[in-house]
Chains A and B, each alone.
Chain A
């Protein structure tokens, strides 16, 4: 099962899709960081399969925290999280984790966090190897993913030797390589030149058209306008949810969220 460039299909994991309608279901979610900083507070949100949702908000509004909760990396103090219909992290242990992890791909805001292996190829092949792909297949996928993001030729380089834009593209490849169903993008367009930004977002649009679900945290309202639904956040809370047409009509909400100049 190999995806060549331009042929990536959403949900093409070895574990297969189970076809749930609600991909992410958050109810009354609250997360407080050690030290008392409230990350998110009372968030209710559902993301449906095949949807493109934009999370918008100023710095510190809780977008990254919410994405980590959606990825099952942070356990909320209050509220419940359902990922593909299963409570997560829940009592299901490693079996649930093994079922869900390959279906969720989180691109971190800081690529230095995402790239931890000795070489780019090793890093991009890390996910597929962890999710049980054979070595040769994992390498082939890694190479394909690098080609898709325009980072071919960087395979043997150490991640720290890359430029900021290259790191970002490789970080995206690390997630593409295991073809998750749900893409969680944390300001993926940051640190990219306009051409690379267009190309990467175009790639995610193709994946979305093929059925992938995308949650894109961004401060760029132009990008948010392309989403099917926009979630406006401030101080860890959701201020408004709706289509871009509805949200953009409520100028005061965007101003309150710190997204518009007064």
Chain B
């Protein structure tokens, strides 16, 4: 090895400034003018939006634990209450049961979350959106039956009118309530994620399972960021091509790279844990703190779920 004594290679002519850029006017075939390209950037594109969304979701999953009125509760109790409410929401069949669980989950969400207004806003938006979707089902056009309110809209040649019917209104109400309860439950679950590890520990879930789950959540963020960075790096070196077939090909190619990176990362993390003495146990910093407040919270959640199931 001569090491450093060789003369540096000459620059090829195409590398001289202004002498051979493959796309001097900023537009490769297919994407048209620079203005169009910039427009694409503003629109971001499906792939970019998806990766960005995944990154945000993964980051959101590891936000700081609850800051709401129930923040002082034992994480195990909080998780158990949320689990009972979500179970009730999933299993209730009647509209009264679903309504009960909707009230319960909204109440729990506003007490658990750091921002009750945001929580309520999301649930209300879900309710309104599902109302729009369910509205036709409440009419005689979709659900014939006993009329509740007649609407001044002629229906068909026989002179019949469009009307709000009882079976239709009940079906629509069930759909709206179920949508609200689902969204509310999903938000509750989302709130429980940052403390999932601690909560599961208090509930006596085996440590191997907990550690795997915690690490998966921790490194999901990192991998989501890696995917985002890879896409950003690609964008920085390309013109257009951020959508369609080429983007799908990019996703397929980078999925393989990402899996390999994930494997390497998992090996390294395993070594880092071993280096600091990990042998299967992961002790926590806090002890258990179940008291009357925890009992009250879990009891209330259990009662609401039972009511929802019995209705």
Contacts and interface: CB of A to CB of B under 8 A. Distances in A.
A118 B197 contact: yes
Interface stretch (B81-89, B97-105, B127-135, B276-284): B276-284
Given A118-B62, A131-B277, A262-B3, A108 B285 contact: no
B275 interface: yes
Contacts of A122: 284-285
Interface of A: 68, 71, 73-74, 94, 97-98, 101-102, 104-106, 108, 110, 112-114, 116-118, 121-122, 125-127, 129-131, 135, 138-139, 156, 158-160, 174-175, 178, 234, 252, 255-258, 260-262
Nearest to A113: B268
A158 to B, nearest CB: 5
Contacts, number: 97
Interface of B: 1, 3-6, 59, 62, 64, 194, 197-198, 214-215, 218-219, 221-222, 225, 265, 268-269, 271-279, 281-285, 287
Contacts of A130: 276-279, 281, 283
B5 A262 contact: yes
8 contacts: A97-B279, A98-B277, A101-B274, A101-B277, A118-B62, A130-B279, A135-B287, A160-B59
Contacts of B197: 118
Q: Is the interface of A mostly helix, strand, loop or mixed?
A: helix
B190 to A, nearest CB: 16
Contacts of B194: 118
Contacts of A108: 268, 272
Contacts of A121: 285
Nearest to B283: A129
A110 B268 contact: yes
Contact of B269 (A68, A101, A113, A260): A113
A112 B279 CA distance: 20
A238 B194 CA distance: 47
A68 B281 CA distance: 22
B62 A71 contact: no
B269 A116 contact: yes
Contacts of A98: 277
A138 B284 CA distance: 11
The 9 closest A-B pairs by CB, nearest first: A262-B4, A130-B277, A256-B3, A127-B276, A255-B4, A255-B3, A113-B268, A73-B271, A129-B283
A58 to B, nearest CB: 11
B4 A260 contact: yes
B272 A94 contact: no
Contacts of A114: 272
Given A174-B276, A262-B4, A262-B5, 13 more contacts: A101-B277, A104-B275, A108-B268, A113-B268, A118-B194, A127-B276, A135-B283, A135-B287, A158-B64, A178-B276, A234-B1, A252-B3, A256-B1
Contact of B275 (A73, A117, A118, A260): A73
A94 to B, nearest CB: 7
Nearest to B278: A130
Which among A129, A131, A156 has the highest number of chain B CB atoms within 10 Å? A129
Nearest to A116: B269
Contacts of A71: 275
A248 to B, nearest CB: 15
B228 to A, nearest CB: 13
A125 B64 CA distance: 19
B277 A118 contact: no
Contacts of A234: 1
B271 A160 contact: no
Contacts of B59: 160
A160 B218 contact: yes
Which among A73, A160, A257 has the highest number of chain B CB atoms within 10 Å? A160
A158 B217 CA distance: 12
Contacts of A101: 274-277
Contacts of A97: 279
A100 to B, nearest CB: 10
Nearest to B225: A160
Given A73-B275, A256-B1, A262-B6, A118 B285 contact: no
Which among A74, A122, A252, A261 has the highest number of chain B CB atoms within 10 Å? A122
A116 B278 CA distance: 12
Contact of B273 (A116, A135, A252): A116
A135 B283 CA distance: 9
A77 B92 CA distance: 61
A9 to B, nearest CB: 20
A199 B276 CA distance: 24
Contact of A160 (B62, B198, B269): B62
Contacts of A73: 271, 274-275
